[in-house]
Amino acid sequence: MNTRRSFLQKLSAAAITFPLISFEDCTNADQAGSKTYDGPVLRVAIMGLGGYGTRVADAMVDCKKAKLVGVISGTPSKVKAWQAKYNIPDKNCYNYENFDAISKNPDIDAVYIITPNSLHHPQALRVAKAGKHVICEKPMALNAKEGQEMVDACKKANVKLLVGYRMHFEPKTLEVVRMRMDGELGKILFFQGLSGFRIGDPTQWRLNKQLAGGGSMMDIGIYSINGARYMVGEEPVWVTAQESKTDPVKFKEGVDETIQFQLGFPSGAVASCLSTYSMNGLDKFYLNGVNGFAEMQPSTGYGPIKGRTHKGELTQPHATHQTVQMEEFAAIILEGRKPVIPVDGEEGLRDLRIIDAIYEACKTGKKIELR
């Protein structure tokens, strides 16, 4: 932990459209495990070997279409440990200074960037320039300007840019989206998203403005922003927001503790959401329509997700989110699959534009119109 913290401290100094595919088309890891797969495989290097990087790597053990083949890290001891655990050859191991050399490595197809938020933009540009597909954790960048540059760089390099929106493949989430698309909820009127937890270690990078780009909004709040969009099925046209802070020592200037925000949609539907680092147990989505409702709690955790609608409990099976996500990413890159809910760079950019507007609304107290 001290090694990673020291490394990070050094770095700190330096409208939605849903193609109609059936639920059965979405990968189920348990089902996939029972079949023999002999098609193309997406060969992935993970950049950033922290807690979530480890979770993704462990989940990929069960993948058929995606395989972990490389690592990029600033901590040599982690590289050695991952090599032993995941059988990664020396030639596929890099650090943050030399990873541009992946351009000459034909055994790596894509790099999954799982580093602090402020590093996503420069690292993605380098990966794209190296000619490799970019998979990036959310938020995709610190702001919409950086996000647009990432989108443009990947288009120029003719590589894919995908964002780690694992909930876009979660079965219960997809069932609620299906119900909304099929009109079973009627005209959508209201969405509520509550996203928050009490954050611990005050020295961690998530509370460092230079590394995180903000506070709770740049970590947990994005789930409610993104959820509002795919649950309502529209792009918001205005935003209002209010910030509150109870601990200015822990949550320094530019690091938001709690933000309440509201979104307005073209149809007249509205959303009321909360993003916080100071309250536990906040992981809930609620969608209300003229003819019915959907409620999910927990709604975005690692699972199992639980939910009910006016028709009863949601009973779709749970599968490890990261396994399903990586299988789907492989299908998008290798087979041209079109997911029900987009996971490309444009999707990430839409969220960043809303985050920019939320911060502006907090600062000015004004209602911000979204283009």
Residues 6+ positions from 342 with CB-CB distance below 8 Å:
16, 17, 168
> Are the C-beta atoms of 168 and 18 separated by less than 8 Å?
no
- Choosing from 94, 96, 112, 223, which is the catalytic residue? 223
How far is the C-alpha of 327 from the C-alpha of 339, rounded, in Å?
12
Q: How far is CA 295 from CA 115, 168, 176, 306, 308, in A?
A: 32, 17, 9, 9, 5
The answer to whether 276 and 243 have CB atoms below 8 angstroms apart is no
- Burial state string for 93-102 with b = 16 or more CB within 10 A and e = fewer than 16: bbebeebeeb
> What sections of the chain are H helices per DSSP?
2-13, 29-33, 51-60, 76-86, 117-129, 144-157, 171-181, 209-212, 221-232, 321-335, 345-364
Amino acid at 124: A
* Pairwise CA distance, residues 227 & 295, whole Å: 12
Active site residue 223: yes
Cα–Cα dist 338/107, whole Å: 25
Give the integer Cα–Cα distance in Å for 351 and 117.
Answer: 14
AA letter at 37: Y
64, 138, 172, 284: the catalytic one is 138
| Structure tokens given for 220 | 């947990």
Angle between helix 51-60 and helix 76-86 axes, rounded to 10 deg: 20
Active site residue 138: yes
DSSP code, position 107: T
Question: Are the beta carbons of 332 and 43 closer than 8 angstroms?
Answer: no
Active site residues: 138, 223
